[in-house]
Structure 1
Amino acid sequence: MSLSYKKILLTFVFLISLLSFYGVFNSYIHINESIHGSKIFVSSRPPLSVSPNSGTTAELKESPSSTSYSKPSPALTASPQPSVSAVDPKDVKCGPLTKELIRDFARNNTVMLTVCDFTIFGKLGISWLRHLEEQNFDFFLVGATDRRTARYLTARAAGHGKREAPCFLMGDDAERGGPVTGADPDDESERRDYKYNSEHYISATWQKVNVVRQMVEWGFNVIHSDVDVTWFRDPVTYFLGSTDAAGTTAADVMVSSDLVSSQNAAGDEGLEKYPSPTTNFNTGVYFVRGNKGGQAFMKGWYAERPELTKKLVNDQVGLYRLVRHASPLLQYERFFDFWPANDHAANGTVVHFGGMGAHMALNGYTYYLPRLNLAKKVNALCLHFTWVPLSLEGKLARMRDGSHFRDDAFYFLGASESNSTLESKEGDGGG
């Protein structure tokens, strides 16, 4: 090879190297703009600031504002923890369950309830909250079974203008140390494992039934929701019979199920026709009216606790026993009537019990495979992520498949390589 060719080749290699260096440098500049500017160009793993207690998405700083997920691509910025405006965080409290607390958060005398500790709430509950906020559903309360969950909710509630966070303490924490406030230290020693069907888990499921029983006894309607439930429309309007859904005005109790088909005709958004007591009802989603029928049902259900907790049996099996052993039974098109058979129930009070349509309260099978809501031409009420892989990772993957999990920015920015250019908007938490 002649000397002139060698010079040309070396010059070409030098120019290529220079361009590569410029690309890496420009990527670094753009990543820094993602933190301080209005655009982000994701080309390599960006330096995100995560709190010292990082371990779940919950420790990432986030904005109280909700995100509209009808947009083609959500903004991906790690925004700060909710800041104080109207109320100082040390003045926001999460204390015991009271009538006044329920009244403050209820809509049309109805409140949505979920119960969990941070082991579950930190992984699923924060996304559940974001879904509710996107739709302006502010009628929810969280029964915090540990103080870490209570601390998170008090910090999130700061600046919303209320002295009380949308939560209350349950179990031992309700009696220990007074209410949790935003000024409480983060004591990691209070964390507990929450293993499915462990003794602690069984006890917590029955505590939840007792809380619903108390709320209903005070005259409030209760919508119970697990944190792996996505709500598509206003459940208060549906359950109180403000829509044309058949049977919802008459039933005292409405419970979802594990059914994978529905007998209802296309366009029928009502309760499942001719429900059977032997149906595998699912207590992840249910509604109880704050009337005599609802009160009798909750008393009868909770009365199953003493015997079943000794056998380490959870609340859902208790519901099966109550409904299937009831007598006499009167069958109607949208619900059946029964009188709780145990002695602890209200004397002679009839319960109108309905099963939610499998096309209205979907599960992980009916939503993704037969697409039952589309087949029945209805606007589904909710989706409960059962009938999915048993592991938490499998559940999260299935939720993300349908864009139903509201991730933090870290999930999107954690990829080592991407050529995407994503616009960012101020105040968008990217969840």
Structure 2
Amino acid sequence: MPSIAVHYNFSTFRVKTTPNSNLQDALRQSLAHFHLEDTPNKKWILVHNKKKIALDLPGRFLNLPNGANLDLIPEELSKNKEELGKLLKIRFQIVGRGAVIANVRSNGKMVDILAQLNLGVSLKGCTLKFFSKSLQYEQLDDSTTLESLGIDDQSSIKIILAEQQKQEETKESTSGEEEKEDVDVEYQEDENGQTKTSPAEQDTTIDTISADVQMHMITTYKPTEVSLATQLEEEEEVEFEMTIDQARRYQNILSKQTGNLNGPLLTKRLREKSEKEHSLKRTPPKVCTLRIRFPDRTHIEATFNADDTMVSVYNLVSNALLQDDIEFTLNQSYPYTALNRDESKLVNDLKFGKKNLLVFSTDKQLDQYLKDEFLSKAKDLSEADDVKLDRETAMNNARKQGTHKEEQPSTPGSSKNKTSFKKVPKWLKLSKK
């Protein structure tokens, strides 16, 4: 994206850009060229194909072609903040396609909100589910807002596409009175005040979970029979398009690894101070999902309250063991630390997050650790949402590496490790004298 064309009132202004620069400078230059300026009641934005461009992301994340045509238009702002409503964090879950978390206004039009999210799917004929209500996309009008729908706090909206809705109807007709287990749960993230989630954590939750999270309910996972490498070979090649949400998370990962390259270098004391301030701004989770891995690669997963202690965790694991009299220790996966069986609270004392992995260790080597009643209901580990996310990420990386190798030209001398001289120089010849 070396240059872009900004259009305003039948006039065009070309701006040179670089892949690592954002479009904030392009907007500033365009406003100066067209003799425009931002005011408290009128802001200007760049739009591509009727979609707002994120100005805080580098150009390489925007997937814009060379010489892309952008429109400079004013953004509709209300003079009174009360007319816009309060800012809400809403999670939009597309069944089978992931989720997007955004900060939106309670009085904003639902049609405009869904259009600005850039979900990348057609919403015609889809169904919006929130709380115990359902609403068709065609029923949305200019008067439909979050406030009119009764959403006045952090919440989750599930979007069921038309094709998925038809599949669910066929399943319901064949299975009879089968209970729907695909109920979404509110998922909140707070990272540096950004409107998106941080990544390494995926913004999807367990699909088979009730609306009211059932505490201390054990879900068992068995190791997958097909390795990830085999799945990558069998998977058909599809084009991967990075969404704005994924680009923000990827940018945050890079900034944490490399630091602020445009700013001064931070000492260890300043970095620790910044991390401490950032941790204080985070909202502590109300529930913790713990997954315990056993030596035979089986897993159990359960949800605990933030005020629960390690005694409750140890008791739950003991009840699931085939031999409940064996001595064992639960360890934190990284950094590998033994967790004692005491009254330490999961969030306040141990600083657990929303999802945590613990490792089961014992001196006895057994062929089976869990009771048969749990193993009989075990699911494949590949069905877990976080494993699906890792699998998708690995597949995308493998495709990128494959295309990179294909693009590299082969040179004639690249296969030779040593350079052979056709003619020996005179100074290297030994004298006969």
Q: Choose 1 or 2 for highest CA Rg.
A: 2
Query: Do Structure 1 and Structure 2 share a fold, with TM-score over 0.5?
Result: no
TM-score of the two chains, using structure 2 as the length reference? 0.26
- TM-score, normalised to structure 1, is 0.26
Higher strand share goes to which structure? 2
Q: Which has the higher contact order (CA 8 A, sep 6+)?
A: 1
